Amino acid sequence: MAKWFAGVLVVVLVLLQYRMWLSDDGVSETLRLAQAVESQKTTNDGLRERNAQLAAEVADLKDGFTALEERARSELGMIAPDETFYQVVPRVAQTVAPATAPAPSATAAPARSAQR
Write out the chain in H/E/C secondary structure.
CHHHHHHHHHHHHHHHHHHHHHCCCCHHHHHHHHHHHHHHHHHHHHHHHHHHHHHHHHHHHHHCHHHHHHHHHHHHCCCCCCCCCCCCCCCCCCCCCCCCCCCCCCCCCCCCCCCC
In a domain, 49, yes or no: yes
pLDDT tens-digit map of 16-49? 887 777 777 778 888 899 999 999 999 999 999 9
In a domain, 89, yes or no: no
In a domain, 52, yes or no: yes
Structural domain boundaries, residue 10: 2-76
In a domain, 48, yes or no: yes
pTM, two decimals, is 0.42
Number of domain units in the chain: 1
pLDDT tens-digit map of 55-102? 998 888 788 778 778 888 888 888 888 888 888 899 887 776 666 665
In a domain, 84, yes or no: no
In a domain, 95, yes or no: no
In a domain, 90, yes or no: no
